Amino acid sequence: MTTDIEVLGRLTGSILLYIVAAIVLVKVFWIVQDILTPFNDKEERQRGNPAAWIHRLGGSVGIMVASTGSLIMSDQPLWTNLGMFLLDGVTAIAVFSIVMVVIFDPVVLPGIKNTLKIQQGNVAVALLEAFGFVAMGCIMCGSFAGSDSDLLKGQINGALWGLIGAVTLMVAFLLYVTFWAIFRACGINKQIAEGNIAAAIDAGTLLLTMGVVLLFNIMGDSVGFMQELTSYLNGLVAILAAFAARILIGLTFARGMGSTDKEGRHHGNVMKSLVVGVPSIAAALTTGLLIVGS
């Protein structure tokens, strides 16, 4: 008969194994990122550059979120789950590295290297990319969740949805920038390049809101690319509901606070951005749980 102490001992051992695996994945991610950044990233962190730390930690959280996907609804033994956790993490590292160079860098600040801004200590740029990484992690988590009889197919599927998710997030960011340019006569990407942290939080929480909703829409057993694409597109409709909640939250809790200052720049109020952004993510989580429960 298994005693409570034996169960607790096995649970503790399993947790420790996952912690070690997570540390290994984060270390590998950091090594890859050190290679990709054109400056001495380790030196920047050692001298206390907050932007370098935020960017690196955001990516690490995104990797961890993506890696947990295979554990959701899994009935496999410990060593199988641990192996999938590591394999999903390696796939996520590869996708994140490609996205950082090929998608995030050209879109977020056109004509300006994001890494250069991060080296210079621009926290706003680092925050936006960190939010983007965590949002991508959510999407990849949803794609890894569930079962797939073909191991290689499952990894390709996860990588594909990671790339699709990155493109979706960047399209949303471009639409967001365009909205501000047309209706507020304010260049959001320029504001972020200049270090406006509130602007980065506004844009970043919007991306994370999308990532959370899409996580729940594509979660589940593999049913074929076209059906998963349909679920993904349905998720875009659910995102509209989350955005409506974001607007309502803004009207309720940030009423009377202007979107821009007298010079036409983003308001720069970090607390206002947090008051609107954080509940928006919570609304997205609620929307996602409703989708799963329906």
The CA distance from 168 to 163, in Å, is 9
- pLDDT band, very low/low/confident/very high, at 114 (cuts 50, 70, 90): confident
- Tell me: pLDDT of 116 over 50: yes
Task: Write down the domain spans for the chain.
Answer: 4-293
Digit-coded pLDDT (tens) for 85-96: 899 899 999 998
Query: What is the pTM assigned to this prediction?
Result: 0.87
Digit-coded pLDDT (tens) for 191-217: 898 999 999 999 999 889 888 888 887
pLDDT (0 to 100) of residue 100: 83
Residue with tokens 């991306």: 207
Q: Which of the pair, 149 or 192, is modelled with greater confidence?
A: 192
CB 254 within 8 Å of CB 181: no
Per the prediction, the chain carries an average pLDDT of 82
- Tell me: pLDDT of 1 over 50: no
Q: Which of the pair, 143 or 84, is modelled with greater confidence?
A: 84
CB 212 within 8 Å of CB 246: no
* Secondary structure, 3-state, the chain: CCCHHHHHHHHHHHHHHHHHHHHHHHHHHHHHHHHHCCCCHHHHHHCCCHHHHHHHHHHHHHHHHHHHHHHCCCCCCHHHHHHHHHHHHHHHHHHHHHHHHHHHHHHHCCCCCHHHHHHCCCHHHHHHHHHHHHHHHHHHHHHHCCCCCCHHHHHHHHHHHHHHHHHHHHHHHHHHHHHHHHHCCCCHHHHHHCCCHHHHHHHHHHHHHHHHHHHHHHCCCCCCHHHHHHHHHHHHHHHHHHHHHHHHHHHHHCCCCCCECCCCCECCCHHHHHHHHHHHHHHHHHHHHHHHHC
